[in-house]
Structure 1
Amino acid sequence: MNVSYKWLTEYVDLEGITPDELAEKMSRTGIEIEGVDYPSEGLKKIVVGHAVEVVDHPDSNHLHICQVDVGEEVLQIVCGAPNIAAGQKVIVALPGSRITGNKKIKKGKMRGVVSNGMICSLEELGYTDHVVPKKYAEGIYVLPNEAVPGEEVFSYLSMDDAILDMSITPNRADALSMRGTAYEVGAIYNKKVTFPELDYVEDPSEDIKQDMQVSVENPADTPIYSIQIIKDVTVKESPLWLQTKLMNAGIRPVNNIVDITNYILLEYGQPLHAFDYDKLGSKEIYVRRAKAEEKIVTLDEEERTLSPENIVITNGEKPIALAGVMGGLDSHITDETVTVALEAALFDPISIRKTAKALNLRSESSARFEKGINLATVQEAGKQAAAWMAELAGGRIVSGIAEARSVEAKDVTVSITLEKINHALGTELSEDEVTSIFDQLGFDASISNGTFAVIIPPRRWDIAIEADLIEEVARIYGYDNLPSTLPISASHPGYLNEKQRLTRHTKHFLEGSGLSQAISYVLTTPEKAAAFSMRESDRIQLEMPMSEDHSTLRMSLLSGLLDDLSYNIAHHNQNVALYENGRVFYTSSEQTLPIEEEHVAGALTGSLQQADWQGKEQRIDFFVIKGILEEMFAAYGLVEPITFVQRTDLPLLHPGRTAAIMLGDEMIGFAGQLHPSVAKERDLKETYVFEFNFQAIVNAEKHATIYQPVPKYPGMSRDIALMVDETVSNKQIVEVIKENGGKYLTAVHLFDVYQGENIETGKKSLAYTLSYLNPTATLVEEEVSKAFDKVQSALVEQVQAEIR
Structure 2
Amino acid sequence: MFVSYKWLQEYVDLSGVTPVELAEKITKSGIEVEGVEVLNEGIKGVVVGHVLEREQHPNADKLNKCLVDTGTGEPVQIICGAANVDKGQKVAVATVGAVLPGNFKIKRAKLRGEESNGMICSLQELGIESKLIAKEYSEGIYVFPNDVEVGQDAIEQLNRDDQVLELGLTPNRSDCLSMLGVAYEVAAILGREVKLPEPQVETSSEKASDYIDVQVEAKEDNPLYVAKVVKNVIVAPSPVWLQARLMSAGIRPHNNVVDITNYILLEYGQPLHAFDYDRLGSKQILVRKACDGEVIVTLDDAKRELTSDHLLITNGTEPIALAGVMGGANSEVQPDTKNVLIESAYFKGATVRKASKDHGLRSEASARFEKGVDPNRVRAAAERAVQLLAQYAGGEVLEGSVEADALQVEPAVVSVTLEKINRVLGTELSMKEVEDIFARLQFETNTDNDTITVTVPTRRGDITIEEDLIEEVGRLFGYDNLASTLPIGSSTPGHLTQYQNKRRLVRRYLEGAGLFQAVTYSLTNEAKAAQYALEERKPVQLAMPMSEDRSLLRLSIVPQLLEVLKYNSARQIDSLAVYETGAVFLSNGEEELPEEREHLAGAVTGLWHSHPWQGEKKPVDFYAVKGILEGLFDKLGLSDKAEFRQAQKDGMHPGRTAEVLLSGESVGFVGQIHPTVEKELDLKETYAFELSLKAILEEEVSPLQYEAIPRFPSITRDIALVVDKGTAAGALEGIIKEAGGKLLKDVHVFDLYEGERMEPGKKSIAFSLKYFDPERTLTDEDVTKAHDNVLDAVKEKAGAVLRG
Answer whether contact 1:639 1:702 (CA < 8 A) is retained: no
Q: CA deviation at 1:803?
A: 0.9
The within-5 A match list for 1:660-739 is 660-739=659-738
In the other structure, the counterpart of 1:36 is 36
Q: CA deviation at 1:116?
A: 2.7
Deviates more, 1:286-295 or 1:722-731: 286-295
CA distance in 1, matches of 2:565, 2:753: 33
Confirm whether residue 225 of structure 1 aligns to residue 225 of structure 2.
yes
**Matched letter for residue 288 of structure 1:** R
After superposition, give the CA deviation of every residue in 1:494-514 in whole Å (9 maximum; x if it has no partner).
765331343234334444544
Change beyond 3 A, Cα 1:55–1:635:
closer
After superposition, give the CA deviation of every residue in 1:318-338 in whole Å (9 maximum; x if it has no partner).
111121122111211122212
In the other structure, the counterpart of 2:797 is 798
Answer whether contact 1:44 1:97 (CA < 8 A) is retained: yes
After superposition, give the CA deviation of every residue in 1:585-639 in whole Å (9 maximum; x if it has no partner).
1120287322111111222334434478989755444344344434543554459
- Indicate the SS of the match to 1:98: strand
Answer whether contact 1:640 1:663 (CA < 8 A) is retained: no
Change beyond 3 A, Cα 1:675–1:489:
farther
Change beyond 3 A, Cα 1:679–1:113:
closer
**Matched letter for residue 678 of structure 1:** V
In the other structure, the counterpart of 2:743 is 744
Change beyond 3 A, Cα 1:766–1:125:
same
Answer whether contact 2:746 2:769 (CA < 8 A) is retained: yes
CA distance in 2, matches of 1:635, 1:62: 82
The within-5 A match list for 1:238-637 is 238-488=238-488, 496-589=496-589, 592-610=592-610, 618-633=618-633, 636-637=636-637
In the other structure, the counterpart of 2:134 is 133
CA distance in 1, matches of 2:511, 2:53: 86
Deviates more, 1:321-330 or 1:700-709: 700-709
CA distance in 1, matches of 2:427, 2:625: 63
Change beyond 3 A, Cα 1:138–1:502:
closer
Deviates more, 1:206-215 or 1:763-772: 206-215
In the other structure, the counterpart of 1:147 is 148
**Matched letter for residue 353 of structure 2:** R
**Matched letter for residue 79 of structure 2:** V
- Indicate the SS of the match to 2:130: coil
Confirm whether residue 179 of structure 1 aligns to residue 180 of structure 2.
yes
Answer whether contact 2:12 2:192 (CA < 8 A) is retained: yes
Q: CA deviation at 1:191?
A: 0.7
Residue ranges of structure 2 left out of the alignment (5+ in a row): none
Q: CA deviation at 1:768?
A: 1.0
Change beyond 3 A, Cα 1:641–1:316:
same
Change beyond 3 A, Cα 1:521–1:109:
same
Confirm whether residue 658 of structure 1 aligns to residue 651 of structure 2.
no
Change beyond 3 A, Cα 1:706–1:395:
same
Deviates more, 1:568-577 or 1:27-36: 568-577
Deviates more, 1:324-333 or 1:80-89: 80-89
In the other structure, the counterpart of 1:787 is 786
- Indicate the SS of the match to 1:52: strand
Change beyond 3 A, Cα 1:616–1:192:
closer
Deviates more, 1:673-682 or 1:7-16: 673-682
After superposition, give the CA deviation of every residue in 1:553-584 in whole Å (9 maximum; x if it has no partner).
22111112211222333333444333222221
**Matched letter for residue 186 of structure 2:** V
Q: CA deviation at 1:726?
A: 0.8
Deviates more, 1:519-528 or 1:275-284: 519-528
CA distance in 1, matches of 2:628, 2:639: 19
- Indicate the SS of the match to 1:397: strand
CA distance in 2, matches of 1:611, 1:764: 35
Q: C-alpha root-mean-square deviation of aligned residues, in Å?
A: 2.6
**Matched letter for residue 418 of structure 1:** L
CA distance in 1, matches of 2:607, 2:236: 83
Change beyond 3 A, Cα 1:279–1:757:
same
CA distance in 1, matches of 2:493, 2:191: 49
In the other structure, the counterpart of 1:91 is 92
- Indicate the SS of the match to 2:604: strand
- Indicate the SS of the match to 1:458: coil
Q: TM-score, normalised by structure 2?
A: 0.94
After superposition, give the CA deviation of every residue in 1:712-756 in whole Å (9 maximum; x if it has no partner).
333322111121111111122223223322332222211111211
Deviates more, 1:7-16 or 1:418-427: 418-427
Change beyond 3 A, Cα 1:371–1:643:
same
- Indicate the SS of the match to 1:214: strand
Change beyond 3 A, Cα 1:13–1:520:
same
Change beyond 3 A, Cα 1:689–1:103:
closer
Change beyond 3 A, Cα 1:780–1:45:
same
After superposition, give the CA deviation of every residue in 1:395-417 in whole Å (9 maximum; x if it has no partner).
22222322222223421112222
Deviates more, 1:331-340 or 1:732-741: 732-741
Confirm whether residue 192 of structure 1 aligns to residue 196 of structure 2.
no
Deviates more, 1:74-83 or 1:344-353: 74-83
CA distance in 2, matches of 1:660, 1:469: 65
CA distance in 2, matches of 1:639, 1:114: 93
In the other structure, the counterpart of 1:168 is 169
**Matched letter for residue 689 of structure 1:** A
CA distance in 2, matches of 1:559, 1:421: 58
After superposition, give the CA deviation of every residue in 1:282-330 in whole Å (9 maximum; x if it has no partner).
1111122323332222222232233333322111111111211221112
Answer whether contact 2:645 2:730 (CA < 8 A) is retained: no
- Indicate the SS of the match to 2:378: helix
In the other structure, the counterpart of 1:236 is 236
Change beyond 3 A, Cα 1:447–1:62:
same
Change beyond 3 A, Cα 1:96–1:614:
closer
Change beyond 3 A, Cα 1:794–1:131:
closer
CA distance in 2, matches of 1:617, 1:60: 75
User: Taking every aligned residue pair, what percent have the same amino acid on both sides?
Assistant: 50
CA distance in 2, matches of 1:133, 1:732: 89
Q: CA deviation at 1:783?
A: 1.4
Q: CA deviation at 1:155?
A: 2.7
CA distance in 2, matches of 1:476, 1:173: 18
In the other structure, the counterpart of 1:159 is 160
After superposition, give the CA deviation of every residue in 1:204-255 in whole Å (9 maximum; x if it has no partner).
x333332212122322222222211111222223223322222332322222
Answer whether contact 1:233 1:395 (CA < 8 A) is retained: yes
Deviates more, 1:279-288 or 1:446-455: 446-455
Answer whether contact 2:184 2:441 (CA < 8 A) is retained: yes
Change beyond 3 A, Cα 1:778–1:490:
farther
After superposition, give the CA deviation of every residue in 1:744-787 in whole Å (9 maximum; x if it has no partner).
22222111112113323322111112222223333222111112
- Indicate the SS of the match to 1:778: coil
CA distance in 2, matches of 1:537, 1:781: 57
CA distance in 2, matches of 1:623, 1:34: 60
